[in-house]
Amino acid sequence: MKIAIVSDTHDNVSNFKKALAFIKKKRIKTIIHCGDICAPATLKEVLDDFTGKVHIVFGNVDGDRFRITKISFESMPQLKIWGESGEILADKKKIAFTHFPQFGKGMAATQDYDLVFYGHTHKPWEEKVGRTKLVNPGNLAGLFYRATFAIYDAKTDKLELKIL
């Protein structure tokens, strides 16, 4: 199972669409968004026709959390809103995700997960915390650093950084 991990979109619809085109081309059916989408309309504009599952946690600039959640219930059932943190199981790999690095480091320190993804800093990063990979996929907005996202293959345990 392949998973796309994105973060810090900051309403950059163009870059989000470019990443989604790559994700669709590779037939990836699961996306994790580590927060800071910003406007709820960005979700509708970019992900409305995506048929896979999109797991979303909130970031510090996701101001209208109510509308983001409302969209998922009313018109985009492929979205799963987790709140501050979430977790999924993929090919026996336990994966957690959050927006803030300090939460991610705390989750990784528990050693309950194979991978923990986080955002916020906009900087792509990977480190090991015990047996857990702690990973920031960078940011789709292209703010402070180049626009990047990650692809994780749970079957092969391979992680790739993609630059837009």
Which tens digit of pLDDT belongs to each residue from 93-131?
999 999 999 999 999 999 999 999 999 999 999 999 999
Locate the domains of the chain by residue range.
2-163
**Cα diameter, the chain:** 41
What single-letter amino acid sits at 128?
A: K
Secondary-structure class of domain 2-163 per CATH: alpha beta
C-alpha dist (Å) from residue 133 to 21, 86, 120, 139: 27, 16, 17, 18
159 in Cβ contact with 135 (< 8 Å): yes
Tens digit of each residue's pLDDT (9 = 90 or more) over 33-73: 999 999 889 999 999 999 999 999 999 998 788 888 888 78
Tell me the whole-structure pTM to 2 decimals.
0.95
